[in-house]
Structure 1
Amino acid sequence: MPVRRPPSTPALAVALASAALLLSACTADEPSASTAAVSARPEVVTADVPMRTLLDDVARGVTLPAEPQRVMVLNEELLDATLMLGIEPVGISLGRDQPTAAAYLQDRKPDLTYLVNAGLPDAPDVGAVLTAEPDLVLAGDATTPEVLAGLEAIAPTYVARVDGSEWTATLRSVAEALSREDRAATWLGGYEWRTQQVRQQIADAGNAGRSVALVLWTAEGPVVLDETSFAARVAASVGLAPPGRTGGAPGAVVPVSAIPVSDRLIVFARDALGADGDALEAAMASAEVRALPAVAAGNVSVVDGSAWATRGGPAAAHLVLDDLLAAFGA
């Protein structure tokens, strides 16, 4: 197992200067500072650390450790994959619209609280990343070029595409960056087996082909997830169908009256303890929501939105399967 050589004092000083230049650029809107940050990247000591070069998901050549030892993960979907692959990160970002790491991951692994937290997933605090001294940074494809330049000034940065409709491809990409392809293949095989088991249980309960509307509740109102979302893809994989009509453009808030009629309504808020959760609680008590056909018939489930609203990951997928089985498998 290769041993990571700690950065030399001069190299760390250069990295600090690079991060400072980047932060200055973000404030003063001076692209030249970002360029300076990249050119000032400290020299990587590779004498005793085997390295390899990969193309990441945005076609960038990235030279990174063959077996990374200190991984910083700046996206909740990538964190889900990283944890399943058996890697303990040195730092993370917040969950989307949440005050901690994604709640479903935080609940399963409370010690995430004690890791370096770089803040927002697509706009992390570069200085916080520096303090974690990573030898590899995993970032999502929504990371801006300016932030990416600052991250590259600290450590090799691999960008993974995060797409709810192709979430297993994201898992495979992260596994390649972490040299854990075999573990990912094993997990995917087990997940496929469980999917078939849940599909059969739902069919045995007479619920194959039932329609389900998935609604993310925000402080501004409901958003109907379309069939390309991660959760909808999982539902389809176990034999459930989308509602007969959509509730508007993907991601758009719609009136309650536009929530599609379906055999079952599944609702969730990304942050159950925040403003979105409060809005959902109030909505479920309102006459308008209680008059929806599925709700009036008692065919409604309130589930963990931190998992259902994510764009996909191993732990999230199993939680969605659990909830679908509870709703349709009995």
Structure 2
Amino acid sequence: MHVRRGVAAGLVAGVLLAGCSSTGDARTTGGTAGAAGSTAPGETARDAAGTFPRTVEHDRGSTTVPAVPERVVALDDSLVGAVAGLDVQVVGHTGEPAGLPEVFRLPRTEGSTHVGTLAEPNLEAIAALQPDLIVSASVRHEELYDELSAIAPTVFTATTGPAWKDNVRLVARALGREEAGEQQLADYEERAAAVGADINAAAGRPTISLVRFLSAEDPARLYARASFPGIVLRDAGLARPARQDVDEFAVEVSPEQIDAAAGDRVFYSRYDVDDPAAAGRFTGNGLWRALPATTEVSDERWYTSVGVQGAHLILDDLAAAFGVDPHRA
């Protein structure tokens, strides 16, 4: 049974409300103190966390988290990656019943329970997991915020996608893992800069074009600077064609305009790999064939694996395409 507009009285009665969302005065003293960096051997996540209780400001107001979260439900894949990447257990996730995308199958997602689709989370299943924190995004589940907050402390990002770095920081604050979050992002940015520098040196500062084919009825998208892969390219210091070197998400083009994708290297993907027509009406014409160097990449790796884990996969593919050191630790 999916419960979306009001949790049954019996369900709410069984939920511990001590840690629910609050817009009142923050309680900022007491709790467990410690360094918020990476967990050392023999040290638990509780030992390594920051001070609790803590009040976290987020897109839907403020939420008091009474103790170090150890059982988190994440209702978007990118937030699954943010939580598990900070070494905290994800006990519930939405999406496909078959399981999480490969990039988010991390040690801290093992045993995670499917709690409905992204469009329709099952609140009854979420409550049954007895989480001590729920994370989602307003763009995904704004209308469910009150119901989720009745189950456990709930923190919402505004959106997903291009905001992935800020979302990691917000999740890290809720978990008491701020230093670990900042270190994770710093390590990624250092690697991106190193890979990009090697590509620029080896290939003479090439312009990198991003093309994504959706369905047979849709225009192609040229992804710009404000997209997930566009941010990775920017962090790597890689140049973009003028049409894509704008602070936008994407530019749409028809088959007759696909020459706008021109760049020294064109990386393209197919959202629907089972529909050859989705890309065929673009790649089958002379304008596409005239493009200099085209490389097909995984749509899941470049476009839906939004987060630190996916960003590293894009860097892997870029390093392999240009034959440079991947700078993997």
Alpha-carbon distance in structure 1 between the residues aligned to 2:56 and 2:296: 41
Q: 1:230 matched to which residue of 2?
A: 228
Q: By how many angstroms is 1:265 displaced? A: 2.1
1:195 to 192, 195, 201: 192
Alignment check: 8 A CA contact 1:91 1:117 kept: yes
The reply on whether 1:177 has 2:177 as its aligned counterpart is no
Alignment check: 8 A CA contact 1:67 1:179 kept: yes
Q: 2:42 matched to which residue of 1?
A: none
Q: Note the aligned Cα RMSD (angstroms).
A: 3.5
Alignment check: 8 A CA contact 1:62 1:157 kept: yes
Higher helix share: 1
For structure 2, the residue ranges without an aligned partner over 5 or more in a row are 20-29, 33-51, 325-329
> Structure 1 130/163 Cα, relative in aligned 2: closer, same or farther at 3 Å?
closer
Q: 2:117 matched to which residue of 1?
A: 120
For structure 1, the residue ranges without an aligned partner over 5 or more in a row are 1-18, 26-32, 271-275
> Structure 1 94/49 Cα, relative in aligned 2: closer, same or farther at 3 Å?
farther
> Structure 1 227/70 Cα, relative in aligned 2: closer, same or farther at 3 Å?
same
Q: 2:154 matched to which residue of 1?
A: 157
SS of 1:215's equivalent?
A: strand
User: Which string of whole-angstrom CA distances, capped at 9 and with x for unpartnered residues, describes residues 210-250 of structure 1?
Assistant: 2312324335443332221010111122232333325xx95
- What TM-score, normalized by structure 2, do the two folds share? 0.74
> Structure 1 182/40 Cα, relative in aligned 2: closer, same or farther at 3 Å?
same
| Percentage identity across paired residues of the two chains | 27
SS of 1:212's equivalent?
A: strand
What code does the residue aligned with 2:231 have? Answer: R
Q: By how many angstroms is 1:283 displaced? A: 5.0
Q: 2:317 matched to which residue of 1?
A: 323
Q: By how many angstroms is 1:189 displaced? A: 2.2
Q: By how many angstroms is 1:209 displaced? A: 4.0
- What TM-score, normalized by structure 1, do the two folds share? 0.74
Alpha-carbon distance in structure 1 between the residues aligned to 2:212 and 2:179: 35
Within a 5 Å distance, the mapping from 1:47-126 to structure 2 comes to 51-94=52-95, 100-106=99-105, 112=109, 114-126=111-123
The reply on whether 1:44 has 2:17 as its aligned counterpart is yes
> Structure 1 237/72 Cα, relative in aligned 2: closer, same or farther at 3 Å?
same
What code does the residue aligned with 1:277 have? Answer: V
Alpha-carbon distance in structure 2 between the residues aligned to 1:126 and 1:265: 43
Count of residue pairs the alignment pairs up: 290
